[in-house]
Chains A and B, each alone.
Chain A
Amino acid sequence: MDIRAHVSMVFHLDKCIGCHTCSIACKNIWTDRKGTEYMWWNNVETKPGTGYPTLWEDQEKYKGGWEKKNGDLKLKLHSRLKGLGNIFYNPFLPTLDDYYEPWTYDYENLFNAPEGDDQPTARAISMVTGKPMDNIEAGPNWDDDLGGSPIYARNDVNLDELTEDEREQLNELERVVFFYLPRICNHCLNPGCVAACPAGAIYKRGEDGIVLIAQDKCRAWRMCISGCPYKKTYYNWASGKSEKCILCYPRLESGQPPACFHSCVGRIRYLGVLLYDADQIEKCASVPDEELVAAQRAMIMDPFDPAVIAAAKKNKISDAMIASAQNSPVYKFVKKWGLALPLHPDFRTLPMLYYVPPMLPVLAKTKDGNYDVDGAKGENTFAPLSASLPAMLSSLEKARMPIKYMASMFSAGNVKVVEDVYRKLIAVRIFKRAQTVKDYQQAEVDAALAAGKTDAEEVEAIFRLTALPTYEERFVVPPLAREVAVEAWEKPLDRKTDAGFGVRNKINRRKF
């Protein structure tokens, strides 16, 4: 058992309102430099949809992540030899057009245009070439809120599993459904970007698991961009270096959550430590598709287990870090309650950002222009009184977004895993509704709890952490103790007299 600590994340999709505040917080801090204008280390996309960059989930196109070949785990992108051979031209590199060409506007013209018959306009100016752009054909959230979905959303690869009929139904007016998917770097346990980098410039920090690109070592061989199946490493075309989400480590190291977490309006984001068994990484990434979620949960260890604590201490994980893991909201959502799932575990990178899938809007149909109450009876999870038990519990199957779609995104196609999550989420809702609105019979509540494999105590805890968590409950920022860690290679006091005036050009006249 090789216990390591990982600063991990949960995004609760039910709470995401798609406001893009996280994206802007990140953009303003990290990616407003030349060459990074097109990058959104944090982006929010609408699902169904093709996302950013377009079709990032389609690994036949980009060859990201890992695949099992003859029983072995192989990078989908290249073997080592092929990687070096393709170094002069990476055939699977997304280009700027797969993201979008960033632009600004010629605002000056509004002030300086000569007097004329027409209002002056501010033309779009490319931030790459500096030339006017006549047609803006893409943006970072181009198909936001299903904008242009007959063209864009229909290409979503997660729809592949659905029957033609089911796909058609998604376009019916009364069935139209979407949800938001905020994405940052998953800081994977088996990252494709790290493995694909020919220069070995990308690394995982041992203490907290943050994946970083050493800017001094990056040589622009640009394999990481293809190698990451989530397309969360980006190429800075101006500096000739790849860049990615750094989980705001300078903020983390000073006890603050990352900017996107801090600014989240819907308070959907949770940050905490997971203790995991690094010995299991390869095994876990190699299991069959339907077992991936279970395997990933299995490698996350119970921070209260004395054996785990002993192993953690042996690995020099501090008591404060272990305490942080015990208090981690992420541990509760991912392991204890089993509500949060990794995004696309089928990429086999073992992402450490987990999502609580959204409660899908339930089926509603119109009949002769009227809302079909009978048809919808019992299909609404909140349906008061009228809800007969079997109907209530079957509402999941009648959800507007087929459960197969969610399984394609969050459980490598294993419908059972996603169903279990939803049964528990439904149980929480019914339980709390029975408490506050008092329109469910106790038998119905008990049935819901049984279906969700949960109990009153757990449901209360889930409700508490979902609906009412404080800042401190959402962000259990561990003590990364960098000030202590630097002692390994530097004596802190050596620097004490080295700060202030006259430091850049040292004065060496004094001999004492």
Chain B
Amino acid sequence: MFDNILFIVFPYTAVTIAIAVTIYRFAFDPYSYSSQSSQFLENRILFFGSVPWHYGVIIVLLGHLTALLFPGLWGLFTANQIRLYVLEITGLSLALMATVGLVLLFYRRLSNARAQAVTSELDWVLLIVLLLQVGLGFWVAYYYRWGSDWYLHTAVPWLVSLLKFQPDITFVTALPFWVKFHFINGFTIILLLPFTRLVHLLVYPISYLWREHQVVIWNKSRHY
């Protein structure tokens, strides 16, 4: 029963709330969609924190996503021992990079008076949850080795079952506590996403690659 709440009810609730609130916020409060950058106030530690954190976590997340979307290909890739080694080492290093970056960002918010001036309670909650998540991820990857492979046979089928609206938690109930914690904390982040500055990841300005350099907006459409 408890497992059902954790692995079925909570994920569905988190995702539903996340989608609903994200859309609501975008429609009715677009002004609040901002990365709330504090680089202007503190520049130095930010570099050593923000850059490794973002690049580390984005690549690791893309790895998670790729394995979820293309489990077959991913399985073929990890079937070779050398490739599995490379993948594990890369993943671990990136996770370490992200963790170190986030610890620095945490320290920055604690120690710098200017950064403190723009840090809300919710920012702290988000920081702690994120730190917990990358910490757990690193821990799991290190102690329960070959996660890039067993992930395919545990979390992936569970997530796919959730996506298909035929929830099946047998894949995950027997996993160690820390692994489960990582899953649940992941959905906690999804739940927090629309309420925090994390929404900035949804508006990553990819269109900059192709938009015209100059933007001119006319009040009236000109007829020519």
Q: Does A456 contact B (CB under 8 A)?
A: no
Q: Does A90 contact B (CB under 8 A)?
A: yes
Q: Does B33 contact A (CB under 8 A)?
A: yes
Residues of A within 8 A of B218 (CB): 205-207
CA distance A80 to B33 in the complex (A): 22
> In the complex the two chains form, is A95's CB within 8 Å of B41's CB?
yes
> In the complex the two chains form, is A240's CB within 8 Å of B34's CB?
yes
CA distance A87 to B206 in the complex (A): 11
> In the complex the two chains form, is B208's CB within 8 Å of A200's CB?
yes
The number of chain A residues touching the other chain, given as a range, is: 35 or more
Segment among B9-17, B113-121, B139-147, B149-157 that sits at the interface with chain A: B113-121
Q: Does A88 contact B (CB under 8 A)?
A: yes
Residues of A within 8 A of B211 (CB): 200
With A221-B35, A222-B37 as given contacts, are A96 and B205 in contact (CB-CB < 8 Å)? no
Query: Which of A89, A222, A314 has the most chain B CB atoms inside 10 A of its CB?
Result: A89
Segment among B45-53, B77-85, B126-134, B174-182 that sits at the interface with chain A: B45-53
Return the contact of B43 from the options A93, A129, A200, A218 (Cβ within 8 A): A93
Task: Looking at the assembled complex, report how far the CB atom of B106 sits from the nearest CB atom of chain A, in whole angstroms.
Answer: 16
Q: Which of A186-241 contact B (CB under 8 A)?
A: 190-191, 194-195, 198-200, 202-207, 215-222, 225, 235, 237-241
With A203-B215, A206-B218, A222-B37 as given contacts, are A217 and B209 in contact (CB-CB < 8 Å)? no
Residues of B within 8 A of A75 (CB): 213
With A195-B213, A200-B205 as given contacts, are A95 and B39 in contact (CB-CB < 8 Å)? yes
> In the complex the two chains form, is A315's CB within 8 Å of B224's CB?
yes
Q: Does A443 contact B (CB under 8 A)?
A: no
> In the complex the two chains form, is A482's CB within 8 Å of B219's CB?
yes
> In the complex the two chains form, is A237's CB within 8 Å of B55's CB?
no
Residues of A within 8 A of B46 (CB): 89
Q: Does B111 contact A (CB under 8 A)?
A: no
Task: Looking at the assembled complex, report how far the CB atom of B165 sits from the nearest CB atom of chain A, in whole angstroms.
Answer: 34
**Number of B residues whose C-beta is below 8 Å from A?**
47
Task: Looking at the assembled complex, report how far the CB atom of A390 sits from the nearest CB atom of chain B, in whole angstroms.
Answer: 49
Q: Does A485 contact B (CB under 8 A)?
A: yes
Q: Does B1 contact A (CB under 8 A)?
A: no
Find the A residue at minimum CB distance from B211.
A200
Query: Which of B30, B36, B37, B38 has the most chain A CB atoms inside 10 A of its CB?
Result: B37
Q: Does B54 contact A (CB under 8 A)?
A: yes
CA distance A128 to B118 in the complex (A): 9
Find the B residue at minimum CB distance from A190.
B214
> In the complex the two chains form, is A89's CB within 8 Å of B208's CB?
no
Query: Which of A194, A240, A241 has the most chain B CB atoms inside 10 A of its CB?
Result: A240
Residues of A within 8 A of B118 (CB): 237-238
Task: Looking at the assembled complex, report how far the CB atom of A379 sits from the nearest CB atom of chain B, in whole angstroms.
Answer: 47
Task: Looking at the assembled complex, report how far the CB atom of A347 sits from the nearest CB atom of chain B, in whole angstroms.
Answer: 15
> In the complex the two chains form, is B41's CB within 8 Å of A219's CB?
no
Q: Does A488 contact B (CB under 8 A)?
A: yes
Type the 1/0 row for B1-45, where 1 means its CB is closer than 8 Å to any CB of A.
000000000000000000000000000001101111111111100
> In the complex the two chains form, is B34's CB within 8 Å of A218's CB?
yes
Return the contact of B113 from the options A84, A90, A129, A235 (Cβ within 8 A): A129
Residues of A within 8 A of B215 (CB): 194, 200, 202-204
CA distance A75 to B213 in the complex (A): 10
With A194-B213, A485-B220 as given contacts, are A219 and B40 in contact (CB-CB < 8 Å)? no
Q: Which of A134-186 contact B (CB under 8 A)?
A: none
Find the A residue at minimum CB distance from B31.
A216
Residues of A within 8 A of B41 (CB): 95-96, 128, 237
Find the A residue at minimum CB distance from B33.
A219
Residues of A within 8 A of B220 (CB): 207, 316, 485, 488
With A93-B39, A199-B203 as given contacts, are A205 and B217 in contact (CB-CB < 8 Å)? yes
CA distance A482 to B46 in the complex (A): 44
Q: Does A116 contact B (CB under 8 A)?
A: no
Residues of B within 8 A of A316 (CB): 220, 222-224
> In the complex the two chains form, is A194's CB within 8 Å of B43's CB?
no
Q: Does A131 contact B (CB under 8 A)?
A: yes
Q: Does A81 contact B (CB under 8 A)?
A: yes
> In the complex the two chains form, is A95's CB within 8 Å of B35's CB?
no
Type the 1/0 row for A471-482, where 1 means its CB is closer than 8 Å to any CB of B.
000000000001
Residues of B within 8 A of A83 (CB): 208
> In the complex the two chains form, is A88's CB within 8 Å of B54's CB?
yes
CA distance A237 to B113 in the complex (A): 14
Return the contact of A198 from the options B55, B114, B208 (Cβ within 8 A): B208
Residues of A within 8 A of B200 (CB): 219-220
Residues of B within 8 A of A500 (CB): none
Task: Looking at the assembled complex, report how far the CB atom of B134 sits from the nearest CB atom of chain A, in whole angstroms.
Answer: 16
Residues of B within 8 A of A84 (CB): 204-206, 208-209
> In the complex the two chains form, is A96's CB within 8 Å of B40's CB?
yes
Type the 1/0 row for A256-278, where 1 means its CB is closer than 8 Å to any CB of B.
00000000000000000000000
Task: Looking at the assembled complex, report how far the CB atom of A388 sits from the nearest CB atom of chain B, in whole angstroms.
Answer: 53
Task: Looking at the assembled complex, report how far the CB atom of A123 sits from the nearest CB atom of chain B, in whole angstroms.
Answer: 16
Return the contact of A129 from the options B30, B37, B114, B221 (Cβ within 8 A): B114
Find the A residue at minimum CB distance from B222.
A316
Type the 1/0 row for A353-393, where 1 means its CB is closer than 8 Å to any CB of B.
00000000000000000000000000000000000000000
Q: Does A502 contact B (CB under 8 A)?
A: no
CA distance A218 to B41 in the complex (A): 18
Q: Lowest 3 CB-CB distances: which A-B pairs, in order?
A: A206-B218, A198-B205, A240-B36
Provide a sorted-by-A list of 15 A–B residue pairs whose CB atoms are within 8 angstroms. Answer: A81-B209, A87-B205, A88-B53, A89-B46, A95-B42, A190-B214, A198-B205, A200-B205, A200-B207, A206-B217, A220-B35, A220-B37, A314-B224, A315-B224, A316-B224
Interface residues of A (CB under 8 A from B): 75, 80-81, 83-84, 87-91, 93-96, 128-131, 190-191, 194-195, 198-200, 202-207, 215-222, 225, 235, 237-241, 314-316, 482, 485-486, 488
Other than the known A204-B217, A217-B30, what 4 A-B pairs have Cβ atoms closer than 8 Å?
Answer: A84-B205, A194-B213, A216-B30, A239-B34
